[in-house]
Structure 1
Amino acid sequence: MWNHHGYQNGPYNLYTYYAGYNPPTSVNPYPRFPTIDNQAFLSPFTFVVGDVTIQKNTFVAPFVSIRADEGTPFYIGSNSNLQDGVILHGLKNKYFEKDNKRYSIYIGDQVSCAHGALIHGPCRVDDNVFIGFKAIVYNAIIGERSFISSGAVVTNGVKLRPNSFVPPGASIDTQHKADSLGTVPKTEEEFAKEVQRVNQEFPAAYSLYFGKNKCSCGLAC
């Protein structure tokens, strides 16, 4: 509905995203559809393909790309959030294990991936981790409750112990550097908790905002 000034009252609902099977290639010949919980939320302009699991009450913001078309499978736990512009992709036949299963990318419960972060498999991100703005995680295991600050890089097969703090702009590319990290300061711990609190409200709130109905597969219908 348009008002007398020529502006629309209320949101213009172009609710559109793509969630479908990976295109068969020599690298990944078997098409697999995403499995998305019906209480997760995919924002407009989200792209999800392949063997991707997204669990309950996880928020996927606009312009997130989740491509399990080379490395596969991907897993994203419950109450997590992938903020605007986050990219997930993985290398073929490269894995980390979690609970005796192999994943190209594993992201646990209550993980926050802030705007513009790149999560590239193989990698494993355990529960309650914060990954900051434009940070890069590639070929690494991130222990639970760790905090990766803005612009930092964690790579080269390193394993961060739980509650590790990666400073802004740091490059953690040896195990010695990883083992030398301090614990998460209280200020950053509280910041990560507040980000979690806000983002856990978004799936239900945005579902109401868009008036979106979803079928049992989790896709818009």
Structure 2
Amino acid sequence: MRRTLVASGAASALLLTGLVSLSATAAEPEGCHPTKENRPVCQAGSPAETATFLDATAKVKEPEHISLAEHVYVGPFAELVADDDAPISIGDESNVQDNVLILGARDGDSDSDSDSDDDGGRETVRGEGHAEPGVEIGDRVILAHGVSVIGPAQIGVEGNDIPADPAGDQEVFLSFSSQVDGAVLERNTGVGALGRVGPGVRLRSGFIVLPGKNVTTQTEADDPALGKVRLINEADVAFNEAVIEVNTAFAREYTRLYRDNPSNVRGVNFDPGHTEFNHDRDLPSFAGQEKRVPGFRNRLIGDLNLIDTFSRFSSVSGARISLRADEGEPFGVGSVDRMGDDVIFHALEEADLVAGDRVQYGDKVVVHGGGRVVVAGEPEEPTVVGDDVVLEDESIVFRSTIGNGSVIGQRSVVVGSDLAPGTEVPPRTVIINGVKFGDVEW
């Protein structure tokens, strides 16, 4: 397998922050199958107002066993891996963001025997009857950048005790680099950044896994006093609804961008514009020169301003990189010392992002902009990565300022914080609002 399987209230907190019963034979999903003729728009002839859009770089294995409903956005370098025993279905208005990995089944699981554990006699999701694996993702589910989902799993399903609310407020949010592995997440739940829900666990409606926590038993999932989950709140719900609105707009407007010119949705190119949060179509610039390079191996989109020339950036950057200034903008990026594989830049609407000179970006780094109110009544502050900063593999920066010469350790996350120059954050550490929240447990 190519990539490692990895996997706050305020909105920042959510971003940081079951026993499934499957039939004996996996049902074939209904809906649009993202076969060649249905890429990047699924169905090919759908009106933009209802279309699903898959970025040209997204990888799909056995699309006949994958079902996508309407208004779904699938971002750059996402991977959906299904087979006839492990189908994948994704419901209306859900989104699969950059570098997300969905596996219908872990290798070899489709023939696994039934298992059980000692937590109250629970059987694991692979349980009795050689249950066939698969991944079912319901309506209005958000799979943020770098998430992984490993089947058999269900996300956004109706709870055993709490029926679905027809009025809404039932989204599921999986934050940056979180993981759902063989688990069930009911509607109105969430998992914080670098959080995880493990096999056999059911996350019940109204609960969110805290950032970095690894929930492996039903007791941990049900009891906030154990320090791994908290209750969802109104800020979480409002944030989720805004994310859904943005990504359904992406499905519509990237479809229109593609139909204007199929090469518009490849390589270095335009953002789609024509949304309430991003009105204009912009091109990235290199050393002050706007450039459009549809054949480039990475996705650089929108009002992204790099101080490096295109040639130099290409020489110091890896593969499967997604720098997307299609929501928040502009992005100002200084000279890149090194940029590893699977790096992601993005920003919330009305937020920008600034990165300094000589920054080293490890593999699977996420840098995400989002407005921060530092002084009441003053404009929001951008996310800033200073000069000579080292962001080690799988580190995450969100709504923060990282001082010059700082080092953010491997698989660490920094949210809502102003770090002084020269700060060293140890590996696998969660920093929220400038203080250590905990460790990444897995």
Task: Report the TM-score, using the length of structure 1 for normalisation.
Answer: 0.74
Distance in 2 separating the partners of 1:109 and 1:47: 22
Determine the structure 1 residue equivalent to 2:256.
208
Question: CA-atom RMSD, angstroms?
Answer: 2.5
The structural deviation recorded for 1:182 is 3.0
Aligned position for 2:231: 183
Say which SS state the counterpart of residue 231 (structure 2) adopts. coil
Q: Counterpart in 2 of 1:118?
A: 148
2:155–2:184 Cα contact (<8 Å) kept: yes
- In the alignment, which residue of structure 1 is the partner of 2:138? 108
Residue matched to 2:33: 35
- 1:67 partnered with 2:81: yes
Count of residues in Structure 1 that have an aligned counterpart in Structure 2:
178
Amino acid at match of 2:154: R
Distance in 2, matches of 1:113 and 1:144, equals 14
Deviation, structure 1 residue 187: 2.1
1:88 aligned to which of 84, 102, 125: 102
Larger radius of gyration: 2
Q: In the alignment, does 2:183 pair up with 1:140?
A: yes
Contact 2:85 2:132 in 1 (8 A): no
Q: 1:169 to 1:195 in 2, by over 3 A?
A: same
Q: 1:160 aligns with which of 200, 203, 212?
A: 203
Distance 1:122 1:70 in 2: 13
The offset of 1:151, in angstroms, is 0.6
Partner of 2:311: none
CA contact (8 A) 2:147 2:178 kept: yes
What is the percent sequence identity of the aligned residues?
28
Query: What one-letter code is carried by the residue in structure 2 that aligns with 1:62?
Result: P
Structure 2 segments unaligned to the other structure (5+ residues) = 1-31, 35-41, 44-50, 113-124, 158-170, 224-228, 263-442
Relative distance call for 1:154 and 1:70 in structure 2 (3 A) is farther
Whole-Å separation in 2 of the counterparts to 1:76 and 1:210: 22
Give the Cα–Cα distance (whole angstroms) in 1 for the partners of residues 88 and 133 of structure 2: 6
Does residue 151 of structure 1 match 2:191?
no
The aligned amino acid for 1:67 is: V
Query: Residue 79 in 1 paired to residue 96 in 2?
Result: no
Q: 1:44 aligns with which of 45, 56, 64?
A: 56
Greater RCO (Cα-Cα under 8 Å, separation 6 or more): 1
3-state secondary structure, aligned to 1:35: coil
Find the aligned partners of 1:103 and 1:77 in 2 and give their Cα distance: 18
**Which residue identity lines up with residue 141 of structure 1 in the other structure?**
V
Residue 191 of structure 1, CA deviation: 1.4
Secondary structure, in 3 states, of the residue corresponding to 2:183?
Answer: strand
Per-residue CA deviations over 1:143-193 (Å, capped at 9, x if unaligned) read 101011111010021001112111111111111001113321222222111
Segments of structure 1 that go 5 or more residues without pairing to the other structure are 1-33, 215-221
Distance of 1:105 and 1:76 partners within structure 2: 9
* C-alpha contact 1:143 1:164 (8 A) present in aligned 2: no
Matches of 1:193 and 1:120, distance apart in 2: 25
Q: Per-residue displacement from partner, 1:101-137 (whole Å, max 9, x unpaired)?
A: 9651010001000000001111100152110000010
Q: Which one is further off, 110-119 or 160-169?
A: 160-169
What is the identity, as a one-letter code, of the residue corresponding to 1:35? Answer: H
Structure 1 runs of 4+ aligned residues shifted over 6 Å read none
Change in 2 beyond 3 A, CA 1:122/1:184: same
Instruction: Return the offset for 1:211.
Output: 1.7
Q: 1:199: which partner in 2?
A: 247
TM-score (norm: length of structure 2): 0.38
Inter-partner Cα distance in structure 2 for 1:149 and 1:212: 38
